[in-house]
Structure 1
């Protein structure tokens, strides 16, 4: 009887261990993505202002996304660990400032943060819990001030157009690493600076050179930097 109990107990431990391994997705690096609110808000499908008011005229965090070196990525890795607002209660004020929601309908950011955690954050559980995931993102934003980096190079959010290469060079000089620039188009069809990607190691601590760039919408040679 004792032997049978031990057998069942060991079998349960093995099953639980396998379950944990399945949830704890492996990945190679992160994309840390920041978006320019002016380029989001002048599109046709946006509200832009959260219930707390207009965000600052600064790049805001879009997400911290686990990726593989072959260009693919995991998503929605752990449905048993949904977003829990109480886990980040000490970060909320910083999140509202640095990670504002721009989507319709206007909100306080919780639905945006919930989406980012459940789609991307749960795939980093092997190294980050929910609080660490959002804290790491805030830390990364503080390491590189994208707006000031561009302004230092004479690239201002004033509705003027700048060369794609000058934007890349400015971010590389300010961060030390090659960025990926994503554009969208305004209502007149002009290519404009939308999102800037930098790559981060699997600990979410240090910027690195990107093993592979995303296959996002390509920019024109001249990019508008809209005001906000």
Structure 2
């Protein structure tokens, strides 16, 4: 077959597209929830959504496809932009469980659009747009982080708690080891910011994490009020 023949060129294009589609597969999800008190207690501060101050519970940040080597795909399908009409039945649940705290105040649609475009489009082989947001909401019901911590005597009261006790409380309640991400509060203290759990490629089942993000907290971290 001649390298410049139409058939050879067509075959090459098919092979390239095949490689691209394989590169968009993934090994697991990070399911990430954030504590609003820590998000707001920074120099950048926060803005409550137009729907009002969120509840004092962990809010969803996102459901992020990842690879076992620690890397991750992103913005996989620009031809599948966020379409709020596809999730109209989920809006009230999203405003409650997946609120935006970014400034200026918004109703959440910009936040959800970013999460879908960057992360959700990389999971379209298993979850369409409605399925992606519905699966994430269902995971939050399975992983009630505040209840897990409070059951172990760990309260959002501005006090500091050991990192090990926070991890143990979540593992005891949910059955799997979390990854804890900290940020720095206005007073300069390390504080509980985000909690990562890992989920299988169906988006349904929490699993042990194949790999953890980089970064670490101190041995004692603050749990600010909200």
Query: Could you tell me which residue of structure 1 aligns to residue 154 of structure 2?
Result: 155
Q: How far apart in 1 are the matches of 2:43 and 2:208?
A: 34
Q: How far apart in 1 are the matches of 2:45 and 2:14?
A: 44
- TM-score, length basis structure 2: 0.91
Deviations 1:168-201 (A, max 9, x none): 0000011100000000010111010000000000
Q: Does the residue aligned with 2:191 lie in a helix, a strand or coil?
A: strand
Distance 1:97 1:79, change over 3 A: same
Give yes or no for contact 1:64–1:137 (8 Å, CA) kept in 2. yes
Q: How far apart in 2 are the matches of 1:17 and 1:132?
A: 30
The answer to whether the aligner puts 1:224 opposite 2:216 as a matched pair is no
Q: How far apart in 1 are the matches of 2:17 and 2:139?
A: 31
CA offset at residue 22 of structure 1? Answer: 3.4
Deviations 1:189-218 (A, max 9, x none): 1010000000000010100000000013x2
Distance 1:48 1:31, change over 3 A: same
Deviations 1:74-106 (A, max 9, x none): 000000000000010000000000000011111
Distance 1:21 1:132, change over 3 A: farther
Please list every run of at least 4 consecutive aligned residues from structure 1 whose deviation after the TM superposition is greater than 3 angstroms: 14-24
**Equivalent runs, 1:176-215 vs 2, <5 Å:** 176-215=175-214
CA offset at residue 42 of structure 1? Answer: 1.0
Q: How far apart in 1 are the matches of 2:19 and 2:89?
A: 30
User: How many residues are treated as equivalent by the alignment?
Assistant: 218
Q: How far apart in 2 are the matches of 1:89 and 1:22?
A: 32
Q: Does the residue aligned with 2:196 lie in a helix, a strand or coil?
A: strand
Query: Could you tell me which residue of structure 2 aligns to residue 108 of structure 1?
Result: 107
Query: Could you tell me which residue of structure 2 aligns to residue 3 of structure 1?
Result: none
Distance 1:93 1:18, change over 3 A: farther
Q: How far apart in 1 are the matches of 2:56 and 2:15?
A: 47
Over aligned residue pairs, what C-alpha RMSD do you find?
1.9
Query: Could you tell me which residue of structure 1 aligns to residue 130 of structure 2?
Result: 131
Q: How far apart in 1 are the matches of 2:115 and 2:20?
A: 20
Query: Could you tell me which residue of structure 1 aligns to residue 3 of structure 2?
Result: none
**Equivalent runs, 1:1-228 vs 2, <5 Å:** 19=17, 22-23=20-21, 25-216=24-215, 218-228=216-226
Q: How far apart in 1 are the matches of 2:92 and 2:222?
A: 31
- TM-score, length basis structure 1: 0.91
- What runs of 5+ residues in structure 2 fail to find an aligned partner? 1-5
